[in-house]
Amino acid sequence: MPGCAEEHHQSVLHPAGPAAETIEWLWWLLFWVCAVVLVVVTVLTLWAIVAKPRARTGEPQLGNGFIVISGIILPSVILVVLLIFSLQANLRLRIPETQLTVRVIGHQFWWEIHYPDHQIITANEIHIPVGVPVKLELRAADVIHSFWVPHLHGKMDLLPEHTNFFWFQADKAGVYRGQCAEFCGVQHALMAFNVVAMEPLEFERWLEAQKHPPPPPMDEVLQRGQRAFFVHGCNTCHAIAGTEADARIGPDLTRIGSRLTIGAGTRVNNYANLSGWVANPQPIKPGNLMPPSFIPPEEFHALIEYLVSLR
Ligand code: CUA
């Protein structure tokens, strides 16, 4: 599937930015320390089971010193050391100075994306420049969701009526898959998104292009498709910049044609999948808010052509 970060589809152990690297480092520290403790305790337990009681062999008993050192002092030292490294990691995960803010609003079951400083609204896809920390303002429109891009950072909840601040940074261009990480209803599992990390110049070009709505369709088929969009009520839920459609119930479709996926990461975005989705999204993602459409074939295909042309 396009939209994968190479061979690691979603992995906290293949960090692509400083925040995820910090978490990975702490993960491995905890893993190895706990692994060593487990091995030592297992060996001692087996030894205690197998060895003959010292009372019978006549060897001196292990004194209280052994219990105090290995039962109290050693575990305390290990826990304090781990605590210090955890606190240090916490400091490194604080939100740094950022130039770019992205607002993410969680909906059942998709992601509304705003670039508040640039008056850009999109959905289910976050474009960011490589090597730059990005501040995230997270909020929910309905129930609690959780924002998670394993390659870039840990999880952060999106709450109704409260904004959580978060950040991430990608150090390598690529597409990183994100996923809602808090059960939010029947389609929680199909609430994904993509983070597209671009070289800074490419990102500037992308940002600039987003500021201008797509030109009105000149082609006859596309014009018919645009009319169908209004006649059949798509505009009651969706917005397309540069047209009169400005509803915010469903995802903004201004550049739907350029997105990698449809249905919040549910399907690859192509003509066939988009047709299936518009015709009836319920079998694909049961419980989402979009009803099936009943549009005559010719108009339907013009509508899909029009949506595909929105780039
Ligand atoms: Cu949104 Cu789970």
Q: What CATH number does residue 242 fall under?
A: 2.60.40.420
Is 4 within the bounds of a domain? no
**Positions of E strands within 144-276:** 145-148, 155-158, 164-168, 174-179, 192-198, 261-262, 267-268
CA of 183 to the centre of ligand 1 (A): 5
53 and 32 inside one domain: yes
For residues 124 and 160, state if they share a domain: yes
Question: Does residue 68 register a pLDDT over 50?
Answer: yes
Supply 221's token pair.
């088929």
In a domain, 87, yes or no: yes
pLDDT of residue 3: 45
Query: Other CB atoms closer than 10 Å to residue 144's CB: what's the count?
Result: 15
Q: What's the domain count of the chain?
A: 3
Distance from Cα 182 to the centre of ligand 1, integer Å? 5
Position 300 pLDDT exceeds 90: yes
Q: Are residue 107 and residue 158 in the same domain, yes or no?
A: yes
Q: How far is the CA of 18 from the centre of ligand 1 (A)?
A: 25
Whole-number Å distance, alpha carbon 130 to ligand 1 midpoint, is: 27
172 with 72, same domain: the answer is no
**2 domain-assigned:** no
The mean pLDDT value for 233-260 works out to: 95
Q: Which atom of ligand 1 is nearest to the CA of 145?
A: 1
pLDDT at 1: 42
Pick the last residue of a domain from 92, 108, 130: 92
With respect to residue 270, please indicate whether it lies within any of the assigned structural domains: yes
- Domain that residue 267 falls in: 220-309
Task: Tell whether 108 and 190 lie within a shared domain.
Answer: yes
Check whether residue 115 and residue 205 sit in a common domain. Answer: yes
Shared domain for 110 and 187, answered yes or no, is yes
What's the mean pLDDT in 186-204? 96
Contact 155, 19 (CB under 8 A): no
Q: Measuring from each residue's beta carbon to the nearest atom of ligand 1, which residues come in under 6 Å?
A: 106, 109, 145, 180, 182-184, 188, 191
